Homo-oligomer: A and B are copies of this chain.
Amino acid sequence: MKVVTIKDVAARAGVSPKTVSRVINGEDHVRAEVREAVQRAVAELDYRPNAFARSLSSSRSYLLGLFIDDPVSGYAADVQHGALLRCRARSYHLVVEPVELSRPEWREQIRGSISSLKLDGAIIAPPVCDEPALVDLFVGAALPHVLMAPSVEAMTSGTVRMDDERAAREMTEHLLAFGHRHIAFVQGPVSHSASARREAGFRAAMAAAGAAVDERAVLRGDFTFRSGMEAGERLLSLKKRPTAIFASNDDMALGVLITAMKCGLAVPEQLSVSGFDDTASSRAAWPQITTIRQPKAEMAAAAVDILTDPRFRRQMGDPEFHLLLPHALIRRGSTGLCLAA
């Protein structure tokens, strides 16, 4: 169980440990031949730097934290995966920290990870990125952090987001283009700031097209499959039944779709259904659901890039650290021409 240390490498290469350290960290001021000798020694001994010793002495941890509300969701999985791969490419590691805002000890837990693990940076996913008390913890600790899809661009934090409102507008226009006028909308939970933006986009597009929004056909959901089913049931039993339903995420859209099938409605012939996010649920259905592709993995990867960019610490306010990533409307089988009388 012998552990190879930097001293062993130094001895083998005939240099001092400090020089080995320089080579490992890609610093300047090392002659090419010495560098090669060290690299050879590293390879021969299969040397791996001890991450803890390195962190202790350099006060960098090479660790990023991912703070997330519901780590079981498909959304979380995509975000985590994107962050993980980019971390690996940058020789960082990722620590996932579930945040349970419902339990009072969440502050303690977060402060514990920050100061115990000496995180180099944090990625804060929705919806907890909209909790000011939480973000303040990071600001207070002067810990670089990036908010994903936040409601506002705080100047003390980096941000990575997509244009929810515009995307929702485009989706609504897509439905309008098919001739739909009576379009229902299933809202997301108020705790997600994206909910409001998506609804605003829907209303803006309707208004621009001169189509009235039937307020009885605007229902609140909570981004779950079940809430989508419930909304679907209520919408389909309306006297004036909508010809299209725009659910503000895919899980709810799937719920609506399943409900439509239960009611014997053909999709998209008798009812168009559209979602948002492009999570697995939108593909696990038939017809597959027309949706907005949210670049979740890319957003997470961009967050990692920002946090590991050495310039970031000094320039949190730099616009370069407020990214807007492009979305895309993905046309699939669940939306089509309005065939209503």
Contacts and interface: CB of A to CB of B under 8 A. Distances in A.
Interface of A: 1, 3, 48-53, 55-56, 61, 71-74, 76-78, 80-81, 84-85, 88, 93-96, 98, 109, 111-113, 115-118, 142, 225, 229, 251, 254-255, 258-259, 261-262, 280-281, 283-286
Contacts of A81: 71-72, 98
A259 B115 CA distance: 52
Contacts of A142: 1
A64 B83 CA distance: 19
Copies of this chain: 2
A190 to B, nearest CB: 23
Given A77-B77, A98-B81, A98-B85, A51 B262 contact: no
Contact of A251 (B3, B52, B77, B284): B284
B286 A284 contact: no
A92 to B, nearest CB: 11
A225 B283 contact: yes
Contacts of A285: 258
Contacts of A56: 50, 52-53, 56
Nearest to A117: B51
A245 to B, nearest CB: 16
Contacts of A71: 77, 80-81, 84
Query: Most chain-B CB neighbours within 10 Å: which of A94, A118, A283?
Result: A118
B116 A98 contact: no
Contact of A118 (B50, B284, B286): B50
A216 B88 CA distance: 45
Nearest to A88: B109
Contacts of A88: 98, 109
Query: Most chain-B CB neighbours within 10 Å: which of A3, A51, A93, A255?
Result: A51
A51 B118 contact: yes
